[in-house]
Structure formats: structure tokens, C-alpha cells
Amino acid sequence: MTEARTLWLTGLSGAGKSTIAVALKERFEAAGRMSAVLDGDAVRTGLCADLGFSPEARSENIRRVAHVCKLFNDAGLTVIVAMISPYMDDRRNAQIVIGASRFVEVHIATTLEVCERRDPKGLYSKARAGLIPQFTGITAPYEAPATPSCQLDTAVTSVSECVAILYALAGTSEPTSS
């Protein structure tokens, strides 16, 4: 038995974070285990709707989400975070808030070239056209984790393979839904 963990998926837009997070949540459900997904886009429609994309706003965005993760983990719930979270310092601070033993940093390390080719939301073409300022990977930095618990390149690793790897990393203490 292990304590409930936060799987923190960081990576470029289009890397596959949300897709993997949703599939992983379904995997937990199939096993009768509850989990929560905190997705960057969803978080920005509510909890963090007042924040922009400056470095300071991104830090505050991560800080709030980290505290939600801590509360959920305290309640015994596994959390899957899908957020670009481009700055090392912000992720380090999230690790401190959540707790080093619970925080599992996962780098969805799909290359910029692949992400831009996928462009699932059309954001890269808008960023290239100058329509989106401070776009990570184009006009804002992405600081890759130096020592992530896990690194997955979705150009070569399928969604189901990613899910299997992350499911194993999540530990075993979560409450069942029954």
C-alpha cells in the first residue's frame, strides 16, 4: 500500500497530456478506483480564470492546482494533472506543496516538431501567425524536467502503453468506488 499520488504530466501543447490523462482515468475506473483529472484548459475556465500567461500568472496557476492536488491526495484520491507547466521552479514548488513522496513528475516529451504537426487545437498556426503571445515552445520557454520519474514520447509510445506505464507508477492505495 502506498499513499495517494499526484501524477504530474508536463509537456508542450499537443504532446498528449490530456489524451493520456483521460485514458488513465478510464483505466482507474475500470479497476474500480477513483481518480481526478486536473486539466490545464479546464482549470483556466474556473479556478484560474483570472490568470493569463505571463510567467507570474503561470506560477500562480500552478500554485493553486498544487494545493488542490494536496487536498485531493490528503483525501486519498489519486490525481492526474495535465498542464504544460513550463517552468522548473513552478514544478519544484508544486512538489513541495504536494510532498516529494506523492509527486510523480511525468514528462510527456513529444517533440515540438511532432506537436506542431499535430496542432490538435490549431494553436501553433495561430502562434506562428503572431495571434497568440507567450505561446510555449514558440514565443515562451519550456523547461524540460531534468530528472522526471518517467519520460514518454507519444510519437513512439501508444496511448495504451503510456497508460499502462503510468498506472503502475500510481501506486495502490486509492479508495475503491464501491
Active-site residue 35, yes or no?
Answer: no
- Binding ligand ADP by CB under 6 A: which of 65, 68, 82, 138? 82
According to DSSP, the residues that pair with 78 across neighbouring strands are 35
Instruction: Pick the binder of ligand ADP from 4, 7, 10, 14 (CB under 6 A).
Output: 14
- Cβ atoms of 73 and 4 within 8 Å: the answer is yes
Q: Please report which helix (H) or strand (E) contains residue 94, including its range.
A: helix 88-98
| Sequence-ordered strand ranges (E) for the chain | 6-10, 35-39, 78-82, 103-108, 150-152
- Least separation in angstroms between residue 26's CB and ligand ADP is 13
* Percent helix, strand and coil across the chain, each to the nearest 5: 40, 15, 45
148 binds ligand ADP (CB under 6 A): no
Which one of the spans 27-35, 51-59, 96-104, 154-162 is the region binding ligand ADP (CB under 6 A)? 154-162
Minimum CB–partner distance for residue 158 and ligand ADP (Å): 5
CA distances from 44 to 65, 68, 150, 169 (A): 10, 14, 26, 27
Contact pattern for ligand ADP over residues 17 through 46, marking x by CB under 6 A: xxxx--------------------------
The footprint of ligand ADP on residues 92-121 (CB under 6 A) is 108, 118, 120
Q: Which residue among 13, 54, 85, 178 is the active-site one?
A: 85
Spatial neighbors of 71 by CB under 8 A, at least 6 apart, are none
Residues at the contact surface with ligand ADP, assessed by CB under 6 A: 11, 13-20, 82, 108, 118, 120, 154, 157-159, 162
Question: Which residues belong to the active site?
Answer: 85
